[in-house]
Amino acid sequence: MGLPELWFVIIAILWTGFFVLEGFDFGVGMLHRVLGRTGQERRVAINTIGPFWDGNEVWLVVGGAAIFAAFPDWYASWFSASYLAILLLLVALIIRGVSFEFRGKVDGHGWRRLWSGTLMTGSLLAPLVLGIAFGDLVAGLPIDADGEFTGTFWDLFTPFGLWTGLTLVVLCLMNGATFLGIRTTGVLRERAHQVAQWIGWAGFVVATAFAVWLLIVADHGWAPVVLLAVAPVALVGSVWAVYQGRDGFAFFASSAATACSVAGLFAALYPEVMVSSTDAANSLTVGNAASADYALKVMTVVALVFMPLVLIYQAWSYFVFRHRLSA
């Protein structure tokens, strides 16, 4: 494995980690008003992700920065093509982040309803937009021989991209419901179990269709087959665990379904990093889009030093805030 291949794997790990960790944040954000029937219950739901959500977004920043540094041609073509979509993503993340801070500033029903709405909207739009963007990498976008995007904004809405976005939204909902199962008590926990059962079966259908469609569009070996086959099975296991009241296993299984789906997409994409729907010869690959060896060597040293520190810090923060919350 050369350095370009190594950094493709690292980027896949970073984005997989983002969707697993930020996935339950998004899920809780979408579900907090559905499961919380009172202001106090909604506050409890939000507080379950209070210590984690902003730290989890670091994975998004690092994932984008790693593409910029390791594969500048990929970054230039993809981000230019998705410029308006990225702007929408940033707006979604901004209103979501602001809602955490502003929701409790005024003790009024209308005020809190407004910021609960922005939290739900931002938590829905972010995985949807990102899912469409990642699905487009596999489905293909109109790219010329110079790596320039030649389409329009509406060309981003490929059928497979839309289904990828839907898949990630459903997986985030499942992660959020199971996370609330391990972090809350009483009636809020019971409602989270009920919702997780329904979402889990819907997720099984959506994830299975996603896996089959992805393998039809871009199958490059056995790795994506194995990963994508695990995701629906993990969702069934998560639903079973919810029925059994095994909250920890339910969350672990739903997280595994998300991880396998995202990792399977990257495995199916390799060795391309961005497929051209205009001409296969215009597609960007791990080889032709990578930075120079010296830059990749420096990045590898930096990653070896700082990645363990980030993982240790995050593990410690999850250990500190491991207890359930109640009204």
pTM above 0.75, yes or no: yes
Domain ranges of the chain: 3-320
Q: What is the pLDDT of residue 208?
A: 96
Low-confidence ranges of the chain (pLDDT < 50): none
Torsional class of 140: left (φ above 0), alpha (ψ -120 to 50), beta (otherwise): left
pLDDT for residue 193: 95
- The pLDDT, as a whole number, for residue 15 is 96
pLDDT per residue over 110-127, tens digit each? 888 899 999 999 999 999
Q: Which CATH superfamily is domain 3-320 in?
A: Formate dehydrogenase/DMSO reductase domain (1.20.1630.10)
Tell me the three-class secondary structure of the chain, residue by residue. Answer: CCHHHHHHHHHHHHHHHHHHHHHHHHHHHHHHHHHCCCHHHHHHHHHHHCCCHHHHCHHHHHHHHHHHHHCHHHHHHHHHHCHHHHHHHHHHHHHHHHHHHHCCCCCCHHHHHHHHHHHHHHHHHHHHHHHHHHHHHHHCECECCCCCECCCHHHHCCHHHHHHHHHHHHHHHHHHHHHHHHHECHHHHHHHHHHHHHHHHHHHHHHHHHHHHHHHHCCCCHHHHHHHHHHHHHHHHHHHHHHHCCHHHHHHHHHHHHHHHHHHHHHHHCCEEECECCCHHHCEECCCCCCCHHHHHHHHHHHHHHHHHHHHHHHHHHHHCCCCECC
- pLDDT value, residue 300: 93
